[in-house]
């Protein structure tokens, strides 16, 4: 069945100096040629693959924009079919107008995700590479782009393909199976980092009103994004902002304080705070070092303790970071006065003058420290789907080893070995 020629904008509109429209399909050269006037090459259909051509995009006899087109034929294209990349000025009007011209000439306007599906359907790339391709434009940090580009270029795919070949040759050899198991365990360690790169973790700031939560967020953001005031209850709605610490993106959320109140609007803010806390990945508990422990401190500590009890399974791990704020003022807070076991704060900070912030930032991403010094071409799991199938593969490798040890049942061994292989292949979607 003949596929439609499709076109998609592949760069963020209006966010860069250059905009790119990608046209892919059997008729891509003919369609672009209908709206392109080259300065030297008059007929784009006679162009060479992997060559750049300078000219104009025009409509109704009028020039829309000066462009450079990159012609990619067949196997030279990431989609596996004839393609043309149109590089134009990055302004919103120019990019959208050029896309309209391409569509008028016969292409179908599609979302980037549909364009990224073409290489998979044309057996050009596997599912892991497609997932990386879709995530690259959404990456929040340079580190994220590096990691995802490596996975698109085959770092994780190659790891899995090698593991599959090893399985095919192991023939129930325990030494080989132990080696496969060890490799799967090591690659699974990368999942927390990889998934944090593609889906930034939720970092919730909580504490009693006027403990300095908003000031702390402003300090982490390095800008006065949130309103601060000495009047308690200034923050009534959950507000989220993106920050990056050594390449690790975090969605940092400022919440209303948790306390009993008769103010109806503030009550709603407290309820929203509790909902956000239940969904958090990391929680910073802010205590005011300049004041004695108050009822609100105890209420927050009690709620956090309840959260920890509820999260006894491994389905959702919440990391808790107690922080003493206003360390520049005389200390009056006695943590032993809090209900429950005494716990030590991770650090003392002054959100107002920046004291202790570097220690706090270091602690927040300590679990990813190994990965912030990223080694090029390192295989990294970066989706929950990949993590699920590789976890299943690890389980199958363990079952196969136990089967060899326990009953010597070659039939069971073969079944487990086949499950191991199939789970890895499903990761690639082969």
User: pLDDT tens-digit profile of 153-206?
Assistant: 999 999 999 999 999 998 878 899 999 999 999 999 999 999 999 999 999 998
pLDDT score of 395 more than 90: yes
pLDDT score of 226 more than 70: no
pLDDT at site 315: 58
pLDDT at site 15: 64
pLDDT at site 333: 86
pLDDT score of 409 more than 70: no
Q: Quick one: pLDDT band at residue 297, thresholds 50, 70, 90?
A: confident
Distance CA 117, CA 130 (A): 7
Do residues 347 and 326 touch, judged by C-beta distance below 8 A? no
Distance CA 87, CA 82 (A): 17
pLDDT score of 129 more than 90: yes
Q: Quick one: pLDDT band at residue 320, thresholds 50, 70, 90?
A: confident
Cα three-residue angle 166-171-173, rounded to 5 degrees: 85
Q: Quick one: pLDDT band at residue 272, thresholds 50, 70, 90?
A: confident
Which residue reads 């967020």 in tokens? 217
DSSP 45: G
CATH class label, 196-372: alpha beta
Q: Angle, to 10 degrees, between the axis of helix 155-170 and the axis of helix 127-135?
A: 160
The predicted model gives 15-23 an average pLDDT of 86
Lowest mean pLDDT among 44-58, 181-195, 230-244, 416-430: 230-244
pLDDT score of 412 more than 90: no
The predicted model gives 45-60 an average pLDDT of 94
Do residues 28 and 8 touch, judged by C-beta distance below 8 A? no
| Long-range CB pairs of 169-176, under 8 A, 24+ apart, other chains included | 170/417, 172/400, 172/404, 172/410, 172/413, 172/414, 172/417, 174/401, 174/404
CA torsion angle for 24, 25, 31, 32 (degrees, to 10)?
A: 30
Q: Decide the pairing of beta strands 248-254 and 36-38.
A: unpaired
The predicted model gives 67-73 an average pLDDT of 96
Distance CA 379, CA 149 (A): 11
**Helices assigned H by DSSP within 189-254:** 191-198, 213-221
The predicted model gives 229-258 an average pLDDT of 72
pLDDT score of 314 more than 60: no
Do residues 249 and 144 touch, judged by C-beta distance below 8 A? yes
**Residues contacting 173, CB < 8 A, separation 6+:** none
| CATH number of 137-190+378-428, picked from 3.40.190.10, 1.10.4190.10, 1.20.120.430, 3.50.50.60 | 1.20.120.430
Percentage above 70 pLDDT, the chain = 88
pLDDT score of 228 more than 80: no
pLDDT score of 260 more than 80: no
For residue 119, give the nearest of 107, 132, 106 by alpha carbon: 132
Q: Angle, to 10 degrees, between the axis of helix 384-406 and the axis of helix 174-188?
A: 150
Domain boundaries, the chain: 6-124, 137-190+378-428, 196-372
The predicted model gives 84-108 an average pLDDT of 94
Q: What DSSP assignment string belongs to 144-185?
A: HHHHHHHHHTTHHHHHHHHHHHHHHHHTT-HHHHHHHHHHHH
Could you tell me which CATH number the domain at 6-124 has? 3.30.1360.120
For residue 99, give the nearest of 215, 11, 38, 158 by alpha carbon: 11
Q: What is the mean pLDDT of the chain?
A: 87
In terms of average pLDDT, the best of 68-77, 250-259, 408-417 is 68-77
Question: Sheet of 248-254: strands edge to edge?
Answer: 239-245, 248-254, 201-207, 282-288, 319-325, 347-348
């Amino acid at each position: 069945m003949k596929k439609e020629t499709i076109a998609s904008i592949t760069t963020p509109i209006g966010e860069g100096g250059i905009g790119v429209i990608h046209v892919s399909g059997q008729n891509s050269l003919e369609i672009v040629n209908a709206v392109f006037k080259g300065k030297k090459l008059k007929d784009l259909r006679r162009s060479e693959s992997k060559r750049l051509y300078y000219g104009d995009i025009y409509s109704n006899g009028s020039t829309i924009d000066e462009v450079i087109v990159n012609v990619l034929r067949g196997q030279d294209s990431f989609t596996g079919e004839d393609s043309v990349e149109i590089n134009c000025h990055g302004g919103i009007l120019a990019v959208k107008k050029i896309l309209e011209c391409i569509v008028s000439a016969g292409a179908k306007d599609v979302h980037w995700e549909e364009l990224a599906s073409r290489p998979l359907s044309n057996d050009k790339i596997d599912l892991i590479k497609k997932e990386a391709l879709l995530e690259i434009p959404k990456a929040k940090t340079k580190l994220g782009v590096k990691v995802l580009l490596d996975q698109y270029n085959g770092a994780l795919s190659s790891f899995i393909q090698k593991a599959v070949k090893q399985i095919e040759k192991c023939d129930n050899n325990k030494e080989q199976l132990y080696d496969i198991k060890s490799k799967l365990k090591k690659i699974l360690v990368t999942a927390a980092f990889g998934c944090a790169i593609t889906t930034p973790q939720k970092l919730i700031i909580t504490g009693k009103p006027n403990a300095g939560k908003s000031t702390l967020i402003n300090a982490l953001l390095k800008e006065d994004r949130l309103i601060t005031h000495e009047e308690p209850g200034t923050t009534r709605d959950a507000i989220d902002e993106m920050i990056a610490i050594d390449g690790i993106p975090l969605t940092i959320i400022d919440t209303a304080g948790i306390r009993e109140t008769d103010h109806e609007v503030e009550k709603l803010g407290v309820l929203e705070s509790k909902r956000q806390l239940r969904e958090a990945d990391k929680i910073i508990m802010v205590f005011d070092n300049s004041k004695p422990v108050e009822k609100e401190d105890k209420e927050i500590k009690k709620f956090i303790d309840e959260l920890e009890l509820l999260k006894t399974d491994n389905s959702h791990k919440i990391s808790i970071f107690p922080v003493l704020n206003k360390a520049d003022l005389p200390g009056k807070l006695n943590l032993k006065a809090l209900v429950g076991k005494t716990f030590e704060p991770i650090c003392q900070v002054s959100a107002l003058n920046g004291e202790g912030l570097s220690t706090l930032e270091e602690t927040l991403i300590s679990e990813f420290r190994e990965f912030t010094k990223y080694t090029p071409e390192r295989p990294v799991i970066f989706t929950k789907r990949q993590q699920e199938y590789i976890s299943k593969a690890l389980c199958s490798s363990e079952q196969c080893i136990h089967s060899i040890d326990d009953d010597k049942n070659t039939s069971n061994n073969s079944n487990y070995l086949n499950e191991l292989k199939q789970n890895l292949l499903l990761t690639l979607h082969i």
